[in-house]
Amino acid sequence: GVSCKQSSAAVLATCSRNVDCAVRIWDTRQPKPATTVCKLLEHPPSALTWCGDNCIVVGSLSGYLSLVDVRSGSVSDTLCVGDRPVYKLRLSPDGDKVAVAQNDALVTVARVTGDKMEKIMDDTRHTDFVRGLAWKNSNTLWSAGWDHSVMSYNI
């Protein structure tokens, strides 16, 4: 996965799921742009999104979210959102909620408060894999799935 930092067009984060399980920060202004923040061996990463200037939410192949502080490389919280690989993460416009699509029909939303995460919504109305997530505003989420349906959620 790849995610651009909201406050800097030159900084992005990536994760490597099968090679070395690393989360890296890339600053394209630097001669050596890549810095490894951490390696998530217990929950190999599959998707990520920035959550503020100093944190990244990382989804895993094992269905967990990890909240990583990029300054220290420490994981401040983990949250199980399911038992399938996380496919996509989308941060809400207000920056306090993360929408999650896994390799199944489940749509999950987690609230991020400081260094903690909590699951605030699970929805199983889709009948096949969810592949698209988009926030209309801070309280309205849209999802699209292989079942040819689009769902709306008021969070």
What pLDDT digit, counting tens, does each position of 84-136 carry? 999 999 999 999 999 999 999 999 999 999 999 999 999 999 999 999 999 99
Residue among 3, 153, 150 at smallest CA distance from 86? 3
pTM, full prediction: 0.94
Report the alpha-carbon distance of residue 58 to residue 105 in Å, rounded. 20
Residue 117: per-residue pLDDT:
98
Report the alpha-carbon distance of residue 44 to residue 15 in Å, rounded. 9
Residue 96: per-residue pLDDT:
96
Q: Are 108 and 122 in contact (CB under 8 A)?
A: yes
What pLDDT digit, counting tens, does each position of 24-74 carry? 999 999 999 999 999 999 999 999 999 999 999 999 999 999 999 999 999
Q: Are 135 and 99 in contact (CB under 8 A)?
A: yes
Residue 6: per-residue pLDDT:
87
Residue 60: per-residue pLDDT:
97
- CA distances (Å), 41 to each of 6, 7, 46, in order? 27, 29, 12
What pLDDT digit, counting tens, does each position of 78-87 carry? 999 999 999 9
